[in-house]
Amino acid sequence: MGFKMGIVGLPNVGKSTLFNALTRTAAAQAANFPFCTIEPNVGEVAVPDARLDKLAEIAGSRQIIPTRMTFVDIAGLVKGASKGEGLGNQFLANIREVDAIAHVLRCFEDGDVTHVEGRVDPVADAETIETELMLADIESIEKRMQNIVRKVRGGDKEAVQQERLLKAALAVLEEGKPARTVEVDAEDAKSWKLLQLLTTKPVLYVCNVSEEEAAEGNAHSARVAEMAAAEGNSHVIISAQIEEEISQLDDDEAEMFLTEMGLEEPGLDRLIRAGYELLHLETYFTVGPKEARAWTIRQGTAAPQAAGVIHGDFEKGFIRAETIAYDDFVAVGGEQAAKEAGKMRAEGKSYIVKDGDVLHFLFNT
């Protein structure tokens, strides 16, 4: 399981430049005018994980298959999008399909690049988009509540639950807070997710700074950091321009370039890691002579469901999982050595898979 992250923001903040860098393509047209992205561009990127390369080296795997992450570059939004301004309706429809939002904020000064509001203020930009999403949610909730009135009167349990959740969301939205601030009980979690409210999506603020400020950020990104902390959201500092340049270099050249810029790793790595944390994701591995492969699961996933990520039959016929912790696999030098050292465990259906586990599933067909 990977996940889908929508790249959103006002026009001309660097969304498409970042998308191009992330996917190492020029599929998204990056141009200095609003709405250069009309249809959402979708790109899949490999999730970098040095552990996978190490496991493949030890096992002599012929093929390395990383897990993948999907980015969606969504058309720029403007004030009034909730009422259909600009490409608002498309924006709102596309954003419903993603798991999380990477909200790109312009944190750089450049007189040659037009800002749709005529100024650089990332916090105000964030508020503009959040407000439009909240207004769209309020309109959606009011329509839905009208549509289920008859079912609620008739005592339909699902409709009664839906109305209760919609009212809870509406209450916080009318206070100017996003729907993700609602505390939802475990029994309501599935129904809550089905509401598909835009402001329930977790948000990662991406501070797009100039090349010179990529290592430390600037006053604009510092304000975003304060805002993110106050909201309980995350932020990363990236120079989309640098990332685009790096994406065109081979590995050795990219490493030299990063060193010269005072950066330890590409922004892509930081962005994916922040995205993983945002959605509470983790990675387990399957390793053998044929291939070493990474798989993405949500934290707290039990062994049968983790097996189901590979194939549904693995989950249905699950017997047990042979498990080796990554550190043990590396320390002793592989699967056979781990067995002999007593580092391989047989785990049953209740086992909660841990990040970095090397797993082999046994199942009935």
- Residue 288 within a domain: no
Are both 211 and 315 inside the same structural domain? Answer: no
Q: What is the pTM for the complete model shown?
A: 0.81
Residue 218's domain is classified under what CATH number?
3.40.50.300
Are both 332 and 271 inside the same structural domain? Answer: no
**Domain boundaries, position 341:** 300-363
Are both 219 and 307 inside the same structural domain? Answer: no
Ligand-binding site membership of 60 (annotated)? no
Lowest mean pLDDT among 123-132, 306-315, 328-337, 338-347: 123-132
Angle at 137 between CA 133 and CA 138, to 5 degrees: 120
- Residue 119 within a domain: yes
- Provide the residue count of the chain: 365
Does the structure show a pLDDT above 60 at 255? yes
The total of structural domains in the chain comes to 2
Ligand-binding site membership of 17 (annotated)? yes
Output b/e per residue, 86-123; b: 16+ Cβ within 10 A.
Answer: bbbebbbebbeebbbbbbbbbbbeeeeeebbeeebbbe
Residue 8: predicted pLDDT: 87
Ligand-binding site membership of 72 (annotated)? no
The answer to whether the CB of 179 falls within 8 A of the CB of 203 is no
- Residue 115 within a domain: yes
Residue 123 binned pLDDT confidence (cut-offs 50, 70, 90): very high
Does the structure show a pLDDT above 50 at 28? no
Among 278, 310, 343, give the residue marking a domain's end. Answer: 278
- Residue 294 within a domain: no
Residue 87: predicted pLDDT: 45
Ligand-binding site membership of 154 (annotated)? no
Give the C-alpha separation, 46 to 13, whole Å: 25
Rounded average pLDDT over 57-69: 92
Are both 117 and 261 inside the same structural domain? Answer: yes
Are both 197 and 317 inside the same structural domain? Answer: no
Does the structure show a pLDDT above 90 at 263? no
Give the C-alpha separation, 2 to 134, whole Å: 27
Among 246, 278, 310, give the residue marking a domain's end. Answer: 278
Are both 257 and 309 inside the same structural domain? Answer: no
The answer to whether the CB of 170 falls within 8 A of the CB of 135 is no
Are both 28 and 120 inside the same structural domain? Answer: yes
Ligand-binding site membership of 239 (annotated)? no
- Residue 290 within a domain: no
Q: What does the DSSP 8-state code read for residue 215?
A: T
Lowest mean pLDDT among 211-220, 286-295, 301-310: 211-220
Lowest mean pLDDT among 17-26, 29-38, 215-224, 232-241: 29-38
Indicate the average pLDDT of the chain.
86
Q: pLDDT per residue over 138-192, tens digit each?
A: 988 999 999 999 999 998 999 999 999 999 999 999 999 999 999 999 899 999 9
- Residue 292 within a domain: no
Does the structure show a pLDDT above 90 at 251? no
Residue 208: predicted pLDDT: 94
Are both 251 and 172 inside the same structural domain? Answer: yes
Are both 39 and 153 inside the same structural domain? Answer: yes
Are both 318 and 218 inside the same structural domain? Answer: no
Are both 269 and 339 inside the same structural domain? Answer: no
Residue 37 binned pLDDT confidence (cut-offs 50, 70, 90): very low
Residue 118: predicted pLDDT: 65
Are both 194 and 72 inside the same structural domain? Answer: yes
* C-alpha atoms less than 13 angstroms from C-alpha of 361 in its C-beta half-sphere: 26
Show the tokens assigned to 218: 């600037």
Rounded average pLDDT over 67-94: 65
Q: pLDDT per residue over 324-346, tens digit each?
A: 999 999 999 999 999 999 999 99
- Residue 341 within a domain: yes
Give the C-alpha separation, 315 to 1, whole Å: 14
Residue 344's domain is classified under what CATH number?
3.10.20.30
- Residue 154 within a domain: yes
Q: Quick one: what percent of the chain has pLDDT higher than 90?
A: 53
Residue 114: predicted pLDDT: 57
Ligand-binding site membership of 13 (annotated)? yes
Give the C-alpha separation, 326 to 256, whole Å: 30
What are the angstrom distances between the C-alpha of 137 and each of 44, 75, 159, 180, 212?
29, 19, 18, 12, 39
More confident residue, 320 or 258: 320
Question: What secondary structure, in 3-state letters, does 229-276 show?
Answer: HHHCCEEEEECHHHHHHHHCCCHHHHHHHHHHCCCCCCHHHHHHHHHH
Rounded average pLDDT over 356-360: 97
